[in-house]
């Protein structure tokens, strides 16, 4: 069984606006309740090679996370890979964006989870929780992007 999840929503904003919001990983604080803090730790504009480091709380445990952008195709595709070593990591993830008319954007998020050490035993549970939360997660993204 693949330990992957995805979710899709339509956001009432133009694709360029949605892409810019999602590309700035510090905006994760606005829609991901597990993120306690996040910062961009590389110099220069956001693009391939940009790293965001965060502190997150999952299942009562606080961990440090480091994500690197691996693909960046404005305004349609963002890909990342987790570079930190935790018991469960998102080895691959990303957003796909598609313009729907002039003022809406379809966004799909997806992540592939992998367990390390003890994480190999619990990655399936983490994936099931992420799959269950995916519809609410994309709705939190929509609300954050559409906020005034």
Is the pLDDT confidence value at 146 over 90?
A: yes
User: Over the stretch 86-125, which tens digit does the pLDDT of each residue have?
Assistant: 999 999 999 999 999 899 999 999 999 999 999 999 999 9
Residue 42: left (phi > 0), alpha (psi -120 to 50), or beta?
beta
User: Over the stretch 6-61, which tens digit does the pLDDT of each residue have?
Assistant: 999 999 999 999 999 999 999 999 999 999 999 999 999 999 999 999 999 987 88
Confidence of residue 144 (pLDDT cuts 50, 70, 90): very high
Residue 20 is predicted with a pLDDT of: 98
Residue 59 is predicted with a pLDDT of: 78
Q: Taking the complete model, does pTM exceed 0.85, yes or no?
A: yes
Residue 54 is predicted with a pLDDT of: 98
> Tokens representing 112?
């592939």
> Tokens representing 14?
């133009």
Of residues 52, 48, 120, the one with CA closest to residue 82 = 52
Residue 135 is predicted with a pLDDT of: 96
Is the pLDDT confidence value at 1 over 90?
A: no
Confidence of residue 138 (pLDDT cuts 50, 70, 90): very high
Write the burial class of residue 93 (CB in 10 Å: 0-12 exposed, 13-18 middle, 19+ buried). Answer: buried
Contact 132, 140 (CB under 8 A): no
């Amino acid at each position: 069984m693949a330990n992957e999840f995805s979710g899709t929503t339509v956001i009432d904003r133009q694709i360029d606006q949605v892409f810019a919001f999602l590309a700035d990983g510090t905006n994760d604080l606005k829609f991901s309740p597990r993120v306690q803090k996040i910062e961009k730790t590389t110099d220069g504009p956001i693009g391939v090679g940009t790293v965001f480091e965060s502190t997150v709380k999952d299942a009562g445990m606080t961990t440090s996370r480091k994500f690197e952008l691996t693909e960046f195709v404005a305004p349609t595709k963002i890909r990342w890979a987790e570079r930190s070593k935790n018991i469960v990591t998102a080895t691959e993830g990303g957003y796909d964006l598609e313009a729907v008319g002039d003022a809406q954007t379809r966004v799909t998020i997806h992540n592939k989870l992998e367990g390390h050490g003890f994480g190999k035993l619990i990655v399936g549970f983490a994936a099931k929780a992420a799959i269950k939360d995916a519809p609410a997660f994309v709705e939190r993204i929509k609300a954050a992007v559409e906020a005034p």
